[in-house]
Homo-oligomer: A and B are copies of this chain.
Amino acid sequence: MQENQGTVNRRVLLSRRPVGIPQASDFVVDSAPVPKAGPGQVVVRNEWLSVEPAMRGWVNAAQNYSDPVPIGAVMRAFAAGRIVESHCDQWPVGVPVTGMFGWQEYALLDPKAIKRRIEEDDLPLSTSLGVLGLNGVTAHYGIFHVLKPLAGQTVVVSTAAGSVGSCAGQIAKILGCRTVGITGGEAKVRLCTDHFGFDVALDYKSKDFEQHLAQACPDGVDAYFDCTSGPVTDAVMQHLAIGARVAVCGTVSIPNWDPPPLGPRMERTLLVKRARIEGFVILDHADKDASARADLANWIRQGKLKYLEDISEGIESAPDSIAGLYRGENMGKRLIRLV
Contacts and interface: CB of A to CB of B under 8 A. Distances in A.
Interface in A206-261: 226, 229-230, 233, 248-251, 254, 257, 259-261
Contact of A229 (B267, B273, B281): B267
Interface string A63-78: 1110000000000000
A248 B261 contact: no
Contacts of A273: 279
A107 interface: no
Size category of the A interface is: 35 or more
Interface string A38-65: 0000000000000000000000000111
A28 interface: no
Given A65-B272, A274-B280, A281-B274, A248 B267 contact: yes
Nearest first, the 3 closest Cβ-Cβ pairs linking A and B are: A270-B279, A271-B279, A276-B278
A259 B273 CA distance: 16
A294 interface: no
19 contacts: A65-B272, A65-B274, A229-B265, A230-B265, A233-B267, A248-B270, A248-B271, A250-B271, A251-B268, A254-B268, A257-B265, A259-B264, A260-B269, A263-B264, A267-B277, A270-B278, A271-B280, A271-B281, A272-B281
A269 B260 CA distance: 9
B284 A279 contact: no
B276 A64 contact: no
A238 to B, nearest CB: 9
Contact of A263 (B263, B274, B275): B263
Contacts of A257: 265, 268
A266 interface: yes
Given A260-B268, A263-B263, A284 B274 contact: yes
Contacts of A259: 264
A339 interface: no
A1 interface: no
Contacts of A233: 267
A271 B280 CA distance: 6
Contacts of A249: 271
Nearest to A54: B271
Contacts of A265: 229-230, 254, 257, 260-263
A65 B230 CA distance: 26
A138 to B, nearest CB: 12
